[in-house]
């Protein structure tokens, strides 16, 4: 099936200050947004797709002047695809703090006239959800037909169902977790340390020095990438393949897996903003909606709406956000008698599985969304 | 004979649930029983299944379904979360028989269990003729059967007694799905192709 085709993005300005979980304030901000499909007269067919660590508003299709710049979740969005643009109005945005057109650390701080840099306030998942709620208000959307996301995006969908229960009719929480484990926070901290200790970081004010902490960001991404893949998949894809036929006995690229990781690291460091990366990893670490209920997720999920339908999915080879973590969400929903379905999908791509096209995975999403009465 | 969707035990089970009840169906398949109970008895339903195709089919049927392996118990479910926990034609496929029965009565007030009776006279005759039985209620060849436990109505009742479970009601059906009106357990064991039980445990 052909995809959505040519799409356009827009920037929407919000002049009302956003008060943040950290105590900080974002005085005014822009959000980069894309929408696909048509909002119906009742404004009842809107689906919000929340992005993960490195994502943004460009979910699907391509730009007229950049046919190769295809949206990051294009395989699931479009006419006849699980997020069917003939039925639904799909909304994607770049979250505040991002580096793809929304206000973030590389934007100008109105108080100083210089880039925010390290002064950009720390942002929490709940702050993003509040910003997204204002975006819904702008569109005149009282309640989303669905809020959906994978990984950190799934955390936003979960947070939506807790913070704005009456505004979420369906929630799809994929390859996510109710909070990070110590191991997960540890990975994030190594990634942050790589950036923070890069001599080009300049305490986060590298924009003014005309540099970027490319080395640190590259290392952070390489580490992250390892954790997004499965051991089996890496074995199958690279094994111990060498780029040349014999050992070179030096420190240059030899194994194919090294070549791949360095390429991924270089590519990412070439366009992503290091301060945004730091912010995103902190948002992941801080996410723990049960914290305000003494860590009791069952009590937290009691805040969700009894009529909200939940679809929770995990992937068998995902060790960064393992199936057991998704099951914690499911168990807490079940303990409250909530309407929840859970699938453990057998895919070989580790955490990245949630971005893959698979008949079972996409069939489940299509089936769940197919039950939505508009 | 009339019964729902060719599944006579569905009607028996429907007669045991009340509107508003929370029902958990273990091994729910495509969710047909829950769909029937939701439509005819207005219950709240959740299903559990391990097979990808069944999870997809149940979701398509609009049923809440949890993909999970019954052999690992029901650890995602809280104590007394359900009014009824149903195990329809599935007990014979589960290895941890006592474990699953205990788990059902931990998470539910009542357990509803249906299973094919291996002592049904047609099955016995088949074995006497030298072949493993294949019937409406045992629709598999011995080499492709998912069944791992082979037991009779009387075997099951003996296990319930050993486990201290209370049999609240028992319905025994013939191969055509008609309820058998015999009184004695021995007669039911001989005449019944499918047994449906309603169980509780002392609290």
Q: How many interchain CB pairs under 8 A, A with B?
A: 56
Contacts of A298 in chain B (CB under 8 A): 78
* C-alpha to C-alpha distance for B67 and B70, rounded to whole angstroms: 10
3-class SS shares of chain A: helix, strand, coil, % to 5: 40, 20, 40
Selected catalytic residue, list A225, A318, A322, A353: A318
pLDDT at position B4: 57
Mean pLDDT of B148-177: 96
Confidence at residue B5, expressed as pLDDT on a 0 to 100 scale = 57
Q: Determine contact: A307 vs chain B, CB below 8 A.
A: no
Indicate if the pLDDT at residue A1 is higher than 90.
no
B46·A371 Cβ contact <8 A: no
Candidates A343, A346, A358, A370, partner chain B, best to mutate (most B CBs within 10 A)? A343
Taking residues A45-69, what's their average pLDDT? 97
What pLDDT band is residue B3 in, cutting at 50, 70 and 90? low
Lowest mean pLDDT among A3-12, A72-81, A229-238, B30-39: A229-238
Is-catalytic flag, A318?
A: yes
When pLDDT is averaged across residues B37-65 and rounded to a whole number, the result is 97
pLDDT 10s digits, A204-255: 999 999 999 999 999 999 999 999 999 999 999 999 999 998 999 999 999 9
Across the interface, whether the CB atoms of B64 and A337 are under 8 A apart is answered: no
Cα–Cα distance measured from residue B44 to residue A279, given in angstroms and rounded to the nearest whole number: 42
Check whether B6 has a pLDDT greater than 80: no
Torsion of CA B103, B105, B111, B115, to 10 degrees: 40
pTM flag (> 0.90):
yes
B59 and A342 within 8 Å at the Cβ level: the answer is no
Q: For residues B103 and B45, is the Cβ–Cβ distance under 8 A?
A: no
How many whole angstroms separate alpha carbon A48 and alpha carbon A89? 9
Residue A173 forms contact with B (CB below 8 Å): no
Contacts of A345 in chain B (CB under 8 A): 52
Q: How confident is residue A194, by pLDDT bands cut at 50, 70 and 90? A: very high
Q: How far is CA A204 from CA A84, A86, A115, A131, A192, in A?
A: 41, 44, 10, 24, 12
Q: Is A342 on the interface with B (CB under 8 A)?
A: yes
**Percentage of chain A with pLDDT > 70?**
100
A57 catalytically annotated: no
Q: Is B28 on the interface with A (CB under 8 A)?
A: no
A340 contact B CB<8A:
yes
Q: Do A340 and B64 touch (CB under 8 A)?
A: yes
With a CB cutoff of 8 Å and minimum separation 6, the contacts of A74 are: A3, A4, A59, A60, A61
Window B:93-152, CB contacts with A under 8 Å: none
Name the active-site residue from A54, A151, A230, A353: A151
**pLDDT band, very low/low/confident/very high, at A103 (cuts 50, 70, 90):** very high
Query: Which stretches does DSSP call E strand in chain B?
Result: 22-26, 44-49, 64-67, 82-88, 108-116, 166-173, 194-200
pLDDT tens string A250-272: 999 999 999 999 999 999 999 99
pLDDT digits (tens, 9 = 90+) for A320-345: 999 999 999 999 999 999 999 999 99
Are A57 and A101 a contacting pair, CB within 8 Å?
Answer: yes
- Residues B14/B36, Cβ–Cβ less than 8 Å: yes
ipTM of the complex: 0.95
Helix (H, G, I), strand (E, B) or coil at A343: strand
Are B64 and A327 inside 8 Å of each other by CB? no
Residue B2 is predicted with a pLDDT of: 46
Statement: residue A368 has pLDDT above 60 = yes
Cβ B56–A327 below 8 Å, yes or no? no
**Count helices and strands in chain B by DSSP H and E runs:** 7, 7
B60 touches chain A (CB under 8 A): yes
| The two three-digit tokens of residue A218, written as one number | 């590259």
Distance from CA of A344 to the nearest CA of B (A): 6
pLDDT digits (tens, 9 = 90+) for A122-162: 999 999 999 999 999 999 999 999 999 999 999 999 999 99
Mean pLDDT across chain A, nearest whole number?
Answer: 97
R_g over Cα of chain B: 16
> How high is the pLDDT of residue A341?
98
Of B58, B63, B78, the CB nearest to A335: B78
B22, B44, B59: residue with CB nearest A367 = B59
> At residue B156, does pLDDT exceed 50?
yes
Does the CA dihedral A201-A203-A206-A207 come out positive or negative?
Answer: positive
Query: Tokens 């249906």 label which residue?
Result: B114
Residue B1 is predicted with a pLDDT of: 39
Closest CA in chain B for residue A313: B67
Min Cα distance B164 → chain A (Å) is 27
- The confidence score (pLDDT) of residue A6 equals 97
- How high is the pLDDT of residue B202? 84
pLDDT tens-digit series, residues B88-128: 999 999 999 999 999 999 999 999 999 999 999 999 999 99
């Amino acid at each position: 099936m052909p995809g959505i085709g040519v799409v356009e993005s827009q920037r929407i300005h919000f002049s009302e200050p956003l008060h943040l979980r950290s105590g900080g304030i974002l005085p005014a901000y822009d959000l980069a947004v894309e929408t696909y499909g048509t909002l119906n007269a009742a404004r009842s067919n809107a689906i919000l797709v929340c992005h993960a660590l490195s994502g943004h508003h460009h979910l699907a299709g391509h730009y007229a002047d950049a046919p190769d710049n295809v949206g990051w979740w294009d395989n699931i969005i479009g006419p006849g695809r699980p997020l069917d643009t003939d039925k639904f109005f799909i909304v994607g945005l770049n979250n505040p703090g991002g580096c793809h057109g929304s206000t973030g650390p590389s934007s100008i701080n109105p108080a100083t006239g210089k880039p925010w840099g390290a002064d950009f306030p720390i942002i929490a998942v709940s702050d993003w959800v509040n910003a997204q709620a204002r975006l819904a208000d702008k569109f005149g959307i009282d309640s989303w037909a669905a809020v959906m996301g994978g990984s950190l995006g799934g955390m936003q969908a979960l947070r939506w169902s807790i913070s704005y229960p009456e505004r979420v009719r369906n929630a799809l929480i994929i390859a996510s977790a109710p909070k990070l484990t110590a191991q997960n926070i540890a990975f994030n901290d190594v990634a942050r340390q790589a950036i923070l200790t890069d001599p080009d970081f300049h305490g986060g004010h590298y924009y003014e020095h005309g540099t970027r902490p490319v080395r640190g960001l590259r290392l952070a991404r390489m580490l992250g990438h390892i954790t997004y893949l499965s051991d089996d998949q890496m074995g199958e894809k690279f094994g111990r393949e060498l780029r040349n036929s014999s050992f070179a006995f030096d420190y240059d690229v030899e194994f194919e897996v090294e070549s791949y990781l360095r390429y991924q690291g270089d590519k990412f460091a070439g366009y992503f903003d290091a301060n945004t990366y730091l912010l995103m990893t902190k948002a992941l670490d801080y996410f723990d909606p049960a914290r305000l209920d003494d860590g009791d997720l069952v009590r937290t999920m009691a805040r969700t709406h009894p009529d909200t339908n939940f679809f929770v999915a995990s992937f068998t080879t995902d060790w960064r956000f393992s199936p057991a973590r998704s099951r914690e969400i499911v168990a807490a929903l079940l303990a409250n008698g909530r309407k929840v379905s859970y699938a453990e999908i057998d895919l070989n791509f580790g955490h990245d599985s949630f971005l893959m096209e698979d008949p079972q995975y996409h069939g489940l999403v299509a089936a769940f969304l197919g039950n939505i009465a508009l | 004979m009339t019964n729902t969707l060719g599944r006579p035990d569905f009607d028996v089970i429907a007669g045991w649930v009340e509107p508003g009840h929370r029902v958990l169906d273990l091994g729910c398949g495509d969710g047909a029983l829950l769909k029937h109970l939701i439509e005819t008895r207005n219950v709240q339903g959740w299903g559990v299944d391990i097979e990808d195709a069944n999870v997809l089919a149940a979701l398509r049927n609009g049923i809440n379904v949890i993909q999970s392996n019954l052999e690992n118990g029901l650890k995602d479910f809280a104590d007394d979360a359900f009014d009824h926990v149903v195990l329809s034609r599935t007990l014979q496929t589960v290895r941890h028989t006592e474990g699953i029965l205990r788990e059902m009565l931990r998470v539910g007030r009542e357990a509803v269990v249906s299973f094919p009776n291996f002592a049904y006279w047609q099955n016995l005759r088949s074995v006497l003729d030298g072949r493993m039985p294949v019937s409406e209620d045992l629709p598999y060849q011995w080499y492709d059967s998912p069944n791992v436990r082979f037991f009779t109505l009387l075997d099951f009742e003996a296990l319930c007694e050993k486990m201290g479970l209370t049999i609240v009601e028992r319905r025994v059906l013939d191969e055509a799905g008609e309820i058998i009106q015999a009184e004695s357990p021995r007669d039911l064991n001989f005449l019944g192709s499918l047994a449906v039980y309603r169980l509780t445990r002392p609290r």
